[in-house]
Amino acid sequence: MIVHVAERALAAHSVVRAIVATDDTRIRDVVREAGFEAVMTSPDHRSGSDRLAEVAAKLPDAEMIVNVQGDEPLIAPETIDLAVSALVADDESSVATASEMIETPDDVLSADVVKVVSDKKGRALYFSRSPVPYPREAVRHHGSLEESLAKDPSLLSLFRKHTGLYVYRRRFLLEYARWTPTPLERAESLEQLRILESGAVIRVVEASAPSIGVDTMADLERVREIYEAELRRYSKKMAEARP
C-alpha cells in the first residue's frame, strides 16, 4: 500500500521528491526494495505532521512540503497538484488540503471517515469524525440521522469527506510541530484541529477524483477490488492492442 502511495505522489507534476518517513524498519525495507526513498524517524512522534516536520527540518531548500498519508493508495496525482497550486495562490493560507463528496450513508456515520466543513472562500471551518453539518429539520422529521439519510439521499450532498493530504508552507510546518496539542485535537484525535484552534488558515480544494483512506479491513478490501478491476481492464486493453 505504501508503495502505491509513493508512486502516486511522484506522478504529481508539482512533486520533485518523495520520501517515506517511518519508524518501522519493515516499511523502510519494503519501500527501498521497491526503489523508493525512505528515512527512519523518531518513534516518539505524536502525529504524522510531527514526523513530517522531522524530515522537513533537513530540507532547507524546500518551500512547500506535501504530506500524503500512507493510507491513501488511491489518491489522484491531480489532487495533489490542485492542493499545491491553491496554496501557492493563497498567501493567507498556511496549509492546503482536499475534500470530496460522500457517497454512502455509512461513510457519513463512520467515525473513521473525517468530515470537513468550509466557508464560501473554500477555507476550513472545522473537521470532525461526527456527521457535520447536522441536518436538524430532516432528523426531526424522520426521527434519526440514519433514517433521514436512508429516506432522503439528497442529504448526502451536505457532507464532505476529508482526503488524507496536506500541503504545508515549510516554515509554518516547523512552527506548528512545536505547538502543544489542543483540546479539540485531543478530543477528536485530529491533528489539523491544532491548526484551526491556533487561528491559522487551511485552504480546502475539490479532489479531482474519489479516494479511499484505508482505516479498516473493509476499506482494504474495497481498495483491493478497485485495483483488481483496474488490472483486468489494463490486461484486456493490452490484449486487444496485440496484432
Q: What are the pLDDT digits (tens) for 90-123?
A: 999 999 999 999 999 999 999 999 999 999 999 9
Q: Is residue 21 part of a domain?
A: no
CATH code of the domain in which 206 resides: 3.90.550.10
Task: Say if 131 falls within a structural domain.
Answer: yes
Cβ-proximal residues to 66 (8 Å cutoff; 6+ apart), any chain: 9, 12, 14, 15, 80, 83, 84, 165, 166, 167, 168
Residue 233 lies in a domain: no
Entry pTM: 0.89
85 domain residue, yes or no: yes
Q: Kindly state the DSSP code that residue 156 receives in the 8-state scheme.
A: G
88 within a domain of the structure (yes/no): yes
Structurally, how many domains does the chain consist of? 1
Average pLDDT over residues 135-150: 96
Q: Residues 49-101: pLDDT tens digits?
A: 889 999 999 999 999 999 998 888 889 999 999 999 999 999 999 999 999 99
- CB–CB of 196/126 below 8 Å? yes
Residue 34, exposed/middle/buried by CB under 10 A (0-12, 13-18, 19+)? middle
Can you give the pLDDT at residue 218? 87
- Express as a percent the part of the chain with pLDDT over 70: 96
Domain with 176, as residue range(s), is 47-212
Mean model confidence pLDDT for the chain: 93
Look at residue 87 and tell me if it is in a domain.
Answer: yes
- The pLDDT tens digits of the residues spanning 184-224 come to 999 999 999 999 999 999 999 999 988 888 888 888 898 88
β-pair type (64-68, 160-169): antiparallel
In this structure, what C-alpha cell is assigned to residue 113?
471517515
Q: Please check whether residue 91 lies inside any domain of the structure.
A: yes
Q: Is residue 8 part of a domain?
A: no
Per the CB < 8 A criterion, the answer to whether 27 and 41 are in contact is: no
8-46 tens-digit pLDDT: 999 999 999 999 999 999 999 999 999 999 999 999 988
DSSP conformation class of 189: T
